[in-house]
Structure 1
Amino acid sequence: MASAPTRRHISREDAAPGRAEARSSEPEVVTVRKPSRLVSVVAIMSVLVVSLVGGAPPAQAQRRPEMQILSDAETDHIIRKMARPIFQAAGIDPEAVTILLVNDSTLNAFVAGGQNIFLHTGLLLSIDDVGQLLGVIAHETGHISGGHLVRGTGAMENAFLSSLVGMGLGIAAGVAARNSNAGIAGVMLGQHLAERNFLAFSRTQEASADQAGLSYMEHAGLSSVGMLTFLEKLGVGEPLLNDRDAGYRLTHPLTRERIEAVRNFIEKSRFTKVPTPAAVNEDFRRIQAKLSAYLDPLGTLRRFKADDRSVVARYGRAYAYFRQGDIKQAAPLVDGLIAEDPKNPYLHEMKGDLLLQTGRAADAAPPYRKAVELAGTEAGVIRVSLAHALLEQRDPKLADEALKNLQIATKTQGQSAFLWRLTAQAWSMKNNPGMLAYATAEEALARGDLPMAKAQAERAEKLLPAGSPGWLRAQDIRGQTGGLDKPK
């Protein structure tokens, strides 16, 4: 498995005009994974308790486990594509659902903070068939549609979750390594999200979510066998819980009656014997291999032997070598995969990552551009990487292309502090102090540094033309930070 995060203090200096990166003068405690020689497939996503409670995390919170949120464009794309029919059957806008991966080996999934589904890596890696994952997602969708959201003992937990999903995604990007896709940052929770008193649903709610999920899968023409086999995988009546199933079974109480109800439904379903398309299973096996390679590169190399020429095996080995910084072994595998599947945007993205993280920013830009072209509307994260590669070349002529990509990426990645840091860098290269101040305000707001956001928004208002888009947004930021009524 990957090494434990390294704890360190990160001090941030106040931004000055013309500087690309804005930093707070207040030191923040961030749990950051020590960067490897290469960019990882997982983007940093973190929220600091400091920014939410206005001070250092309490000693009790510091002793609690951390939650690490992982992000990967391909993984999100594949899971979202598989889950789309379920969301539509539930009458939920698929684009309104946020799917987040929690770096936790326990077998668990939950909903929180609105239409947000959290999937543990332990769950994804333990899935035997895509149908099981669809069953879990359908069940969690049943919780969403039934209003069975997390009931905390106070507003702190819900506020934290809302900030995690709405404000903090990508907040620490570029801290551990200079790429929006690099590293992991831990999240210190005042109440750990896996605690029973926070997430546990009642047995009635569980049965209700089962039935709702089954109806959604039936409406979508999907077999519900996976939900049954997943519940059977967990089992009931065992005297002891093991580490992997404890999380799910403690937060989602199991009963024999629930399993029997699902079995009875399946016996009457029209779609029980409908198989999952082979291509869907192949996609899922690929992201399983990628996730395994990120978390345990050595174990992945032992699992996928060099003589295994399957796409999944080569994918897993490529990411494992990538994770270890072994470019010599990773590059030929990536090139071979691209030759066989030239329209896969995520292979071109990976090639760009390899080149960028080895100091070849100019060479990284073309594969990123190709990845953006192929990914279309889902290229937000890749556009940020492309902008990074362009700005790393330190050529002012490339600033406009970087800004164009960053502006498009804000539609889906607008809460990313790293995106705004790159935007500030681009405006600095164009010698535009007003837009630099505005972008710096956005970055500070994404980090939860409200004093810095307010100060930079006020600076932007003074420098930008009144009524311009940046000037108007700076006013909004100042209002969000409680400074709208300040006299000019």
Structure 2
Amino acid sequence: MRKPSRLVSVVAIMSMCLMSLVWGAPPASAQRRADMQVLSDAETDHIIRKMARPIFQAAGVDPDSVQILLINDPSVNAFVAGGQNIFLHTGLLLTVDNAEQLLGVIAHETGHISGGHLVRGTEAMDNAFLSSLIGIGLGIVGGIASGNAGAGAAGVMLGQHLAERNFLSFSRTQEASADQAGLSYLEQSGISSRGMETFLEKLGVGEPLLNDRDAGYRLTHPLTRERIDAVKAFVARSRYSDARLPAATEADLQRIQAKLYGYLDPRGALQRYKASDPSAAARYGRAYAYFRQGDVRQATPLVDGLIAQEPRNPYLYEMKGDLMLQTGRAVDAVAPYRKAVDLAGSEAGSIRVSLAHALLEQHDPGVADEALKNLQIAAKGKAQSAFLWRLTAQAWSMKKNDGMVAYATAEEALARGDLPMAKAQAERAERLLPAGSPGWIRAQDIRGQTGGAQAGGGQAGGTQAGGRP
């Protein structure tokens, strides 16, 4: 049974400077909307992280400590917030011409991280909200295209009326500093800095700024001729200016771009990726487009063909599982999800949540233990999310353990930002679980985190969260 995407309504003091995608035509369904979504996809995260790892290492930053979140917005933008968290807009990811440009942006943002630059106005951000946003973005499980609560996109509604023009803005000094740091990281990594140069030139500095909506990257990252000239000068003297990234790296970028197009605009993706194009990226884009349209008949052979070509690619099996799960075939989804978990190894956290989802959709208490095992492993990594804890509560319910149901429900509420609910369920878990047990101890922690939250209220600082599938 198809389920709707999880949309978590959030009102918080946070600004996003939005614009129409002026550097290229955005997917039709990705036009500016009244809400924004944090998209999560295991493959996209894996590919971008793999590409960026040398840059993080050159900066002296633990690659595994950097969280990369994808914002579903057509504007060309990127920013850092809340420490080592890099937010990339889909508009930017779809606009870069090559992997060098994307790495130029990431190197620049890493420069902000290593420089300890704070987003202007950060003191106005509700830290609990940011933590929730980051947790939601990293925790949604499964493929980016599946469109349900278990394997789709997390929707985080950010009230436009709360937009603050300068919230994401850096000073010109910070921008120049981040440029130089990023250029040095690229040089240390043996990566051409020409991508940063061509990206900045692509944005240009001559066009008049019309308003916040249209200013985009140039507003949040003050773009000056001096910046571009400084980058050009560095490229001219760099030893690696003419270095080229491996063809496989460019192919990886093309794949995740095709996946994004298929997710954001299925009709447009089918026009962009013609049936006459036999490339892996084109077939990927068509497969996701058909998937989004619910056309199982045409999606299935494309997915199977891709698996036959790359039998060791865990994300193709994940996609196969998503396809089965979304079309009401939960039993059939289990095998490809298990295969994906096996192949992905330590990076299988979100896929494990999808596997648990498929198991629990069978409503068979006999599979509750396997589902719980996968959820518990996923909860130790980056896959924590409200949905993970909702599934965990469902599994414990099948095992008729009311105390653990209460505990898991408290974790879910905390992840959603519903502090009163988290507090109430944590207190219930404390009453039902054995004193000193892991769940009881964690329930105490949650109760402490919720402070003086009152039933019927929202988070402190004006943040409210709610909404269920």
Using the size of structure 2 for normalisation, the TM-score is: 0.86
Structure 1 distance, partners of 2:83, 2:160, is 19
Query: 387, 392, 406: which is aligned to 2:361?
Result: 392
Query: 188, 193, 203: which is aligned to 2:158?
Result: 188
Summarize deviations over 1:240-272 as a string: whole Å, max 9, x none. Answer: 569997300111111111111111111111111
- Partner residue, 1:453: 422
Are 1:425 and 2:394 counterparts?
A: yes
Structure 1 distance, partners of 2:339, 2:238, is 44
Are 1:227 and 2:189 counterparts?
A: no
Query: 253, 274, 281: which is aligned to 2:222?
Result: 253
SS of alignment partner, residue 199 of structure 1? coil
Verify the 8 A CA contact 1:68 1:184 in the aligned structure 2: yes
- Partner residue, 1:442: 411
Verify the 8 A CA contact 1:406 1:419 in the aligned structure 2: yes
Counterparts in 2 of 1:159 and 1:469: CA distance versus 1, 3 Å: closer
SS of alignment partner, residue 101 of structure 1? strand
SS of alignment partner, residue 69 of structure 1? strand
Are 1:320 and 2:282 counterparts?
A: no
* Pairing 1:9-28 to 2, within 5 Å after superposition: none
Summarize deviations over 1:443-467 as a string: whole Å, max 9, x none. Answer: 1111122222122212212221211
Verify the 8 A CA contact 2:42 2:141 in the aligned structure 1: no
Write the letter of the residue equivalent to 1:100: L
Are 1:49 and 2:19 counterparts?
A: no
* Pairing 1:259-338 to 2, within 5 Å after superposition: 259-338=228-307
Are 1:111 and 2:80 counterparts?
A: yes
Summarize deviations over 1:381-420 as a string: whole Å, max 9, x none. Answer: 1100000100111111110000000000002245411111
Summarize deviations over 1:272-315 as a string: whole Å, max 9, x none. Answer: 11101000000110000000111111011011111111111100
Verify the 8 A CA contact 1:458 1:478 in the aligned structure 2: yes
Verify the 8 A CA contact 2:81 2:118 in the aligned structure 1: yes
Q: State the identity %.
A: 74
- Partner residue, 1:479: 448
Counterparts in 2 of 1:77 and 1:356: CA distance versus 1, 3 Å: same
Give the deviation of 1:172 after TM superposition.
12
Structure 2 distance, partners of 1:431, 1:306, is 51
Structure 2 distance, partners of 1:209, 1:45, is 34
Give the deviation of 1:222 after TM superposition.
0.9
Give the deviation of 1:238 after TM superposition.
2.8
Structure 1 distance, partners of 2:369, 2:330, is 17
Unaligned runs of 5+ residues in structure 2 are 15-32, 454-469
Verify the 8 A CA contact 1:78 1:283 in the aligned structure 2: yes
SS of alignment partner, residue 88 of structure 2? strand
- Partner residue, 2:179: 210
After TM superposition, the structure 1 stretch with the greater mean CA deviation from structure 2, 140-149 or 221-230, is 140-149
Give the deviation of 1:109 after TM superposition.
0.8
SS of alignment partner, residue 197 of structure 1? coil
Verify the 8 A CA contact 1:38 1:323 in the aligned structure 2: no
Summarize deviations over 1:423-456 as a string: whole Å, max 9, x none. Answer: 1111111111111111111111111222221222
SS of alignment partner, residue 70 of structure 2? strand
After TM superposition, the structure 1 stretch with the greater mean CA deviation from structure 2, 104-113 or 401-410, is 104-113
Structure 2 distance, partners of 1:154, 1:145, is 19
Structure 1 distance, partners of 2:291, 2:437, is 44
Give the deviation of 1:237 after TM superposition.
2.0
Verify the 8 A CA contact 2:74 2:91 in the aligned structure 1: yes
Structure 2 distance, partners of 1:217, 1:341, is 31
Structure 1 distance, partners of 2:410, 2:399, is 18
- Partner residue, 1:148: 117
Verify the 8 A CA contact 1:48 1:188 in the aligned structure 2: yes
Structure 2 distance, partners of 1:379, 1:147, is 31
Give the deviation of 1:190 after TM superposition.
7.2
Verify the 8 A CA contact 2:194 2:241 in the aligned structure 1: yes
Structure 1 distance, partners of 2:431, 2:220, is 52
SS of alignment partner, residue 124 of structure 1? helix
Using the size of structure 1 for normalisation, the TM-score is: 0.83
Counterparts in 2 of 1:167 and 1:351: CA distance versus 1, 3 Å: closer
Query: 356, 365, 371: which is aligned to 2:334?
Result: 365
Say how many residue pairs are matched.
Answer: 432
- Partner residue, 1:408: 377
SS of alignment partner, residue 92 of structure 1? coil
Structure 2 distance, partners of 1:422, 1:101, is 24
Counterparts in 2 of 1:453 and 1:217: CA distance versus 1, 3 Å: same
Are 1:100 and 2:62 counterparts?
A: no
Structure 1 distance, partners of 2:265, 2:137, is 26
How much is the aligned-residue C-alpha RMSD, in angstroms?
A: 2.7
Give the deviation of 1:48 after TM superposition.
2.0
SS of alignment partner, residue 110 of structure 1? strand
Verify the 8 A CA contact 1:47 1:169 in the aligned structure 2: no
Unaligned runs of 5+ residues in structure 1 are 1-36, 54-63
SS of alignment partner, residue 157 of structure 2? strand
- Partner residue, 1:8: none
Summarize deviations over 1:113-134 as a string: whole Å, max 9, x none. Answer: 2111111111110110100000
